Amino acid sequence: MARALEEFTNEPPLDFAREEARSAMAGALAEMRARLPLLAGPIIAGKRLEMAGETEIRSPSDLNLLVGRCAMGGAAEANQAIGAAEQAFPTWSRAPAPERTSIFLRAADELRRRRLEFAALEVFECAKPWREADADVCEAIDFIHYYAREALRLSEPRPMQPQIPGERNDLSWHPLGVTAVIGPWNFPLAIPVGMMSAAALAGNTVVWKPAEQSPLVVALMMELLERAGLPAGVVNLLPGRGEDAGQTLLDSPRVRMVAFTGSKEVGLHILRACAGVPVGQPFVKRTVIEMGGKNAMIVDASADLDAALIDILASAFGYSGQKCSALSRLIAHEEIYDPLVERLREGAASLKIAPAWEPGCQLGPLIDAAARAKTEGYIGQGRAAERSIYVGEAGELAARGHFVAPAIFDGLPVEHPVVQEEIFGPVLVVLRARSFEEALAIANDTPYGLTGGVHSRTPAHLELARERFECGNLYLNRGTTGAIVGRQPFGGTKLSGIGAKTGGPEYLQQFMISRATSENLMRHGYAPIKGEVV
């Protein structure tokens, strides 16, 4: 049953320079389009719930395209899902770790086989451009593989040091219980799969709530897991809204842990909700919370501007800035400020705005009308301050989907909302610094601390950034997005999140209880004595 695992390697992205890859993706998009609209709804204890009233999922690139319909669970379905997870817990948690991992690895194999299908659905449902959609599926595969290895590693008790004759001390890891996993829509497969697989591989059972905007790709994955042999009730799919389904999970005394990735507002709400101990809850809920960012990149006087520009454009405007890792505050040294800003303006103006399924799409639409209204509001505020470097126009596309063209502002006071608040859209603020030290101070002047970037060829400045840049992921002389499982564990500090980094060696323990066991090995004065006695 257990299979020997080769060393972890990342799933390679598709090489779209190859004709085979391009035509395969185009084919997958055509096939998926023909399958639309997909249908989804809660799957609890292996059963699809019959429910009235479905929510329509329309493609953000073109609101005329109905991607699917999804039945949204409410409080009743949430409680039902919790019950199913609770029931599955004893068997699943006691199953040997190799048994659990082999099911998930089968699922990863299958996902690899069907990666284009999943990527295609992301293109329609979440408006991920080709490369981004493909990378998201790769990351989901990576998470499963990475956490599977971690689960096996943690399944063996670890002897504690120093070892003393006559006693045995070890640390072992055990599942917690029912875990609620609440995912975001911006990495619609990778992040929900990452949290869910970590929870389940650790031996927990899961209520899996995808974001309201992206339940379809998660539902497709749920079916894949079932086919891979995941026992009923181990993972229960609960599409639903935060206010009812989500809140029920937070309030339930039977939910042992909540893993969440999303906005700061919801994250902090979850933390407050989980701090309470309702009657009949004999534990404090554990939480792993990943929130947003207002990420800065410093471009030093000694930077390679060619490289910096390419990284700025990709980090600020990739997936229209809808990444918690996205760059939103560019801090430029005054020596290179003017040439950098000039080239940046032209670069932003040259980005191709298009529906996500077009191969040339560099900037797709935002996820929904609310995101668009919010972003346009901030752009309006920036414009009101008359500090725009560039504000683009989405043209006629704006009538078809939730398109917002990029905007770049400078000279705003640091306390301005556009400088301080997470926008989650294609809006970049440029700030001027007279020295590298001042740039670092500006970079740290934010309540967030997720990613940070530095473009500099001054070794002392890079060293200073390593020491003082208050962020969870520091990127030196490269873009600030696209963390890779294993190589670049990901997660923030300050108001960007609590908990260990995803895709890193400390992540899986969060879903487990550690138990230190000490056994007295002496019997009537005798115990084996290992090693040399001096």
Partner 1 sequence: MQAGHPRRHPELSETAIERRTQEIGRRIFELRRRQRAGLRALTRERLDEAAMERVMDDEELRYRLLRFVDVYPALRGADQIANHFEQYLGGRDGGGSLAAMLARLAYVVGGTHLLSRYPLAWASRLAIQSVASRFIAGRTPEAVAPQLAGMIREGFLFSIDLLGEKVVSEREADAFAARYLAMIENLGTRLEPPLGPAARLAGPVVNISIKLSSLAARFDPLDREGTAAAVLGRVVPLLEAARAAGAFVNVDMEHYELRDLTLDLIRRLLAVETLRGWDGLGMVTQSYLRDAAPALESMLAWLRAHDQPLTVRLVKGAYWDSELIWARQRGWPVPVWTLKRDSDAAFEHLSRRLLEERALVRPAFASHNVRSLAHALALAEGLEAAPDRFELQVLYGMAGPLARTLTGLGHPVRIYVPCGEPIAGMAYLVRRILENTSNESFLRQSSRIEDEAQLLRSPRNPNQATRHEKLV
Task: Tell me which residues in 184-203 interact with partner 1 (CB under 8 A).
Answer: none
113 is an interface residue for partner 1 by CB under 8 A = no
Neighbours of 177 (CB within 10 A): 18
457 is an interface residue for partner 1 by CB under 8 A = yes
343 is an interface residue for partner 1 by CB under 8 A = yes
Task: Determine the interface stretch with partner 1 among 185-193, 254-262, 263-271, 347-355 (rule: CB under 8 A).
Answer: 347-355
8 is an interface residue for partner 1 by CB under 8 A = no
Binds partner 1 (CB under 8 A): choice among 1, 460, 533, 534: 460
| Structural contact between residues 418 and 381, judged by C-beta atoms closer than 8 angstroms | yes
359 is an interface residue for partner 1 by CB under 8 A = yes
Active-site residue flag, 470: no
How far is Cα 184 from Cα 509, in angstroms, rounded to an integer?
22
529 is an interface residue for partner 1 by CB under 8 A = no
Which position among 132, 290, 421, 470 bears the catalytic label?
290
Binds partner 1 (CB under 8 A): choice among 87, 155, 281, 362: 362
- Beta strand spans in 325-410 (E): 327-333, 388-391, 407-410
Strand order in the sheet with 62-71: 38-40, 62-71, 54-59
Output the CA torsion sign for 502, 503, 507, 508: positive
Which position among 70, 126, 274, 324 bears the catalytic label?
324
Query: Whole-number minimum distance, CB 148 to partner 1, in Å?
Result: 18
Query: Whole-number minimum distance, CB 379 to partner 1, in Å?
Result: 21
534 is an interface residue for partner 1 by CB under 8 A = no
**What are the CA-CA distances from residue 136 to residues 112, 131, 185, 197 (Å)?**
12, 9, 11, 15
Binds partner 1 (CB under 8 A): choice among 153, 352, 466, 468: 352
Active-site residue flag, 70: no
Q: Which residues in 130-153 are b (16+ Cβ under 10 Å) and which e?
A: bbbbbbbbbbbbbbbbbbbbbbbe
Tokens 């290992």 sit at which residue?
A: 530
H helices present in 165-282, as ranges: 190-201, 215-227, 247-251, 264-275
Task: Determine the interface stretch with partner 1 among 221-229, 233-241, 346-354, 519-527 (rule: CB under 8 A).
Answer: 346-354
Q: Which is nearer to partner 1, 360 or 528 (CB)?
A: 360
Residue 376 CB burial class (10 angstroms; 0-12, 13-18, ≥19): middle
| Structural contact between residues 324 and 296, judged by C-beta atoms closer than 8 angstroms | no
11 is an interface residue for partner 1 by CB under 8 A = yes
Task: Tell me which residues in 294-323 interact with partner 1 (CB under 8 A).
Answer: 301-307, 309-310, 313
**What are the CA-CA distances from residue 185 to residues 215, 240, 328 (Å)?**
8, 13, 19
**Residues assigned a catalytic role:** 290, 324
Site residues (vs partner 1, CB under 8 A) = 9-13, 15-19, 22, 130-131, 301-307, 309-310, 313, 335-336, 343, 346-347, 349-350, 352, 359-360, 362, 457-460
